[in-house]
Amino acid sequence: MTLLAGLGGRERLPLPDAELCWWPGWMPSEEAAEWFALLVGETPWEQSEITIAGRRLRIPRRNAWYGDPGAGYGYSGTRLARNPWTPALATLRARIQHTTGQSFNSALLNWYRTGADSVAWHSDDEPELGPRPVIAVLSLGTARRFELRHRRRPELRRSLTLHDGSLLLMGGAMQSHWRHRIPKQPGVEGARISATLRLARPPGSPRGPLADPRARC
């Protein structure tokens, strides 16, 4: 019974010090498979390296950055080349903006080739995202576990399965109070792509909230 899957009802996920909501059936699986194949093929995937304790390390995933002119992005001593929006990604952005009521000017795509790929504990709190960033995460392909850990209250942990076609919206003060990761999952053979949409602050713009205050879960 997947007829209504594309309508994707919104659910608010209760989380202290954060706004987190998601659309578990945002995109039907047949369509998600088409987007997955398209993005694997057309994306100029990069193998980023980060610097930890003076050592250059290859991150365990591939990624790529898309954005409007001026929407730069970097983390942990690496900077990604900015690609212009493709027609496909522009379409995806428009649809995600329509659903969430939020504007985005850039996208970080991640390709987790198998369960051996991962992303370590982090917050998406880069200065160019401004305070209280709002980030949309579209998941395509193999489901992966998404774990959350509160920065100062270790008893607060959550785990969510980000499955094919689901859309997650992280907002409020979440990036100040929570870290998240995609842990390695030995035995998982399939690949996952996440398209994470963000609103980067143009260089030199004044500090202040960027998020559309109407875009609440």
User: Residues in the site for Mn ion, rule: CB under 5 A?
Assistant: 124
Least distance to Mn ion, CB of residue 170, Å: 8
Check if the beta carbon of residue 186 is closer than 8 Å to that of residue 73.
no
Residue (5 or 200) nearer to Mn ion, CB: 200
Q: Is 46 helix (H, G, I), strand (E, B) or coil?
A: strand
Q: Report the SS3 class of residue 182.
A: strand
Q: Which two tokens stand for residue 57?
A: 């390390």
| Minimum CB distance to Mn ion, residue 179 (Å) | 9
What single DSSP character describes residue 7? G
Q: How far is the CB of 1 from Mn ion (least distance, A)?
A: 33
Nearest residue relative to Mn ion (C-beta): 124
CA–CA separation, 196 vs 194, rounded Å? 6
* CA 89/CA 69 separation, integer angstroms: 15
Nearest approach in angstroms of CB 162 to Mn ion is: 11
Choose between 27 and 136: whose C-beta lies nearer to Mn ion.
136
- The DSSP bridge partners found for residue 66 are 83, 107
State which residue, 124 or 128, has the beta carbon closest to Mn ion: 124
